[in-house]
């Protein structure tokens, strides 16, 4: 185990606490949505109780040295709050470090409420690598949330993520160590690892693009390429929704890593966006920063995520010219690959109505409900 990784759990750094908060909050939202879908299917077709899975491949020791709980404990607490999840949730915690596994096992065994779980969490000590994609793909078709919080890049691959995303209702949350991946791209010994992450043609194009990029632009180019690779990863033609969240170092001067969420469902994307927006350290006109530097038009995906709220009004007038739609329809059609959350759309639509730029069906002042119709001029 590297010294950096050994020190990682010595104290709960602010970034680590935010990351754990994002993952555990999303887990709760995701699990409850999947639970409701399963219950509806079971009531309709008379099926037995279906399972839901959570897999953390780099779970760590479970707590920091000062006793602060890390992601595994936060997830267990979320499950315990819902007796129906306790009946269905299959949890797999894994770590390649035997000391972490021993600590985690002690933490789980002493968890207050563990007896309420129908399936006791499985704790494994497996070294994660790209070859794990095969076994993951062969698992039962159970909706799964995969959290892959690795330290490097050799264990990452598009194929590994897709082995989970091919299952209905499944999402992935990935720790993307930008600094290490940035260094590996130009290393001839790491060609195989980079191809596994980006694909052969995209990796070659990426190296060419980086030759004309300054150090600031490199990060944007790399994240743009990785996001594009994830979106194109589908083997069954289904969509992939990608949302990155950037973490800086303690001084706020340099990127340390990104947390990237991948979902095959727009609802999952929208829910994670709401969570990440609330965890953002800054806002611009009420629009969350998601900790991004300001990209340029050379990175269209990230550029679209950097727009302030003033631009949203212009975009809506242009994109929906001549149409009459409910607020919720406008939001669902438009929010993908933007930083805007539902409240931004409500605020801007009300503003446009006040300025006489759109008309709306009857509603309360200073609000713009989901079912309020907005009519845009041609």
**Cβ neighbours of residue 71 closer than 8 Å, sequence gap 6 or more:** 19, 20, 23, 24, 56, 59, 60, 147, 149
Which ranges in 306-369 belong to alpha helices (H)?
Answer: 309-319, 327-334, 342-354
- The overall average pLDDT reported for the chain is 87
In terms of Cα–Cα distance, which of 208, 144, 152 is closest to 170? Answer: 144
Of 19, 116, 128, 102, nearest to 68 (Cα)? Answer: 19
pLDDT for res 325: 97
Q: Does residue 265 surpass a pLDDT of 80?
A: yes
Query: What is the mean pLDDT of the segment spanning 3-20?
Result: 62
| pLDDT given for residue 292 in this prediction | 36
| Rounded Cα gap, residues 225 and 213, in angstroms | 13
At residue 295, does pLDDT exceed 60?
no
Mean pLDDT of 63-69: 86
- Burial of residue 259 (number of CB atoms within 10 Å: 0-12, 13-18, 19+): buried
How far apart CA 366 and CA 361 sit, in angstroms, is: 14
pLDDT exceeds 80 at position 254: no
pLDDT greater at residue 17 or residue 265 = 265
* Contacts (Cβ under 8 Å, ≥6 apart) of 322: 376, 377, 378
Q: For residues 271 and 205, what is the distance between their CA atoms, to the nearest angstrom?
A: 33
pLDDT per residue as tens digits for the range 99-121: 999 999 999 999 999 999 999 99
Least confident of 43-57, 197-211, 289-303: 289-303
pLDDT value of residue 137: 83
Question: What is the pLDDT averaged over residues 283-293?
Answer: 56
Q: What are phi and psi of 245, to 5 degrees?
A: -130, 125
pLDDT over threshold 50, residue 4: no
Confidence of residue 293 (pLDDT cuts 50, 70, 90): very low
Mean pLDDT value of segment 13-30: 89
- Rg of the chain over all Cα atoms, to the nearest angstrom: 22
pTM of the model: 0.86
CA dist., res. 209 & res. 278, Å (int): 33
Query: pLDDT digit string (tens) for 121-148?
Result: 999 999 888 778 888 888 888 999 999 9
Question: For a pLDDT cut of 70, what percent of the chain falls above it?
Answer: 88
Share of the chain above pLDDT 90, in %: 62
Best-predicted range by mean pLDDT (4-18, 21-35, 39-53, 200-214): 21-35
What integer pLDDT is reported at residue 219 of this predicted model?
87
Helix axes 200-211, 191-198, angle to 10 degrees: 110
Q: How confident is the model at residue 252 (pLDDT cuts 50, 70, 90)?
A: low
- Determine the average pLDDT of the residues in 304-323: 86
Helix (H, G, I), strand (E, B) or coil at 54: strand
Stretch 142-167: mean pLDDT, rounded? Answer: 87
Residue of higher predicted confidence among 37 and 303: 37
Q: Are 260 and 244 in contact (CB under 8 A)?
A: yes
pLDDT at 217 exceeding the cut of 90: no
* Residue 322: per-residue pLDDT: 97
Instruction: Give pLDDT, residue 16.
Output: 82
């Amino acid at each position: 185990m590297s010294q950096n990784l050994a020190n990682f759990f010595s104290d709960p750094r602010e970034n680590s606490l935010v990351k754990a908060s994002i993952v555990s909050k999303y887990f709760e939202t995701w699990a409850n949505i999947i639970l409701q879908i399963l219950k509806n299917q079971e009531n309709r077709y008379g099926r037995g109780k279906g399972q839901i899975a959570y897999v953390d491949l780099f779970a760590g020791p479970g707590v920091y040295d000062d006793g602060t709980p890390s992601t595994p404990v936060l997830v267990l607490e979320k499950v315990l709050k819902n007796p129906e999840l306790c009946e269905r949730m299959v949890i797999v915690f894994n770590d390649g470090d035997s000391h972490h596994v021993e600590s985690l096992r002690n933490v789980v065994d002493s968890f207050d409420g563990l007896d309420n779980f129908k399936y006791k969490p499985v704790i494994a000590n497996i070294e994660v690598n790209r070859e794990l994609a095969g076994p993951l793909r062969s698992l039962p078709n159970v909706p799964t949330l995969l959290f892959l919080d690795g330290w490097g890049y050799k264990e990452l691959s598009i194929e590994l993520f897709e082995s989970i995303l091919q299952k209905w209702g499944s999402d992935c949350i990935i720790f993307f160590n930008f600094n290490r991946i940035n260094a590996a791209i130009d290393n001839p010994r790491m060609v195989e690892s980079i191809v596994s992450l980006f694909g052969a043609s995209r990796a070659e194009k990426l190296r060419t693009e980086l030759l004309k990029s300054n150090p600031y632009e490199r990060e944007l180019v790399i994240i743009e390429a990785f996001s594009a690779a994830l979106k194109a990863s589908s083997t069954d033609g289904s969509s992939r929704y990608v949302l990155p969240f950037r973490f800086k170092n303690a001084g706020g001067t340099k990127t340390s890593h990104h947390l990237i969420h991948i979902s095959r469902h727009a609802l999952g994307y929208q829910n994670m966006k709401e969570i990440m927006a609330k965890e953002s350290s800054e806002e611009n006109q009420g629009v969350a920063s998601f900790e991004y530097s300001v990209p340029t038009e050379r990175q269209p995906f990230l550029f679209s995520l950097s727009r302030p709220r003033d631009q949203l009004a212009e975009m809506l007038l242009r994109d929906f010219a001549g149409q009459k739609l409910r607020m919720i329809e406008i939001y669902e059609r438009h929010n993908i690959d933007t930083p805007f959350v539902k409240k931004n759309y409500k605020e801007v639509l009300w503003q446009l109505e006040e300025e006489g730029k759109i008309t709306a069906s009857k509603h309360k002042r200073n609000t713009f409900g989901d079912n309020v119709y907005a009519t845009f001029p041609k």
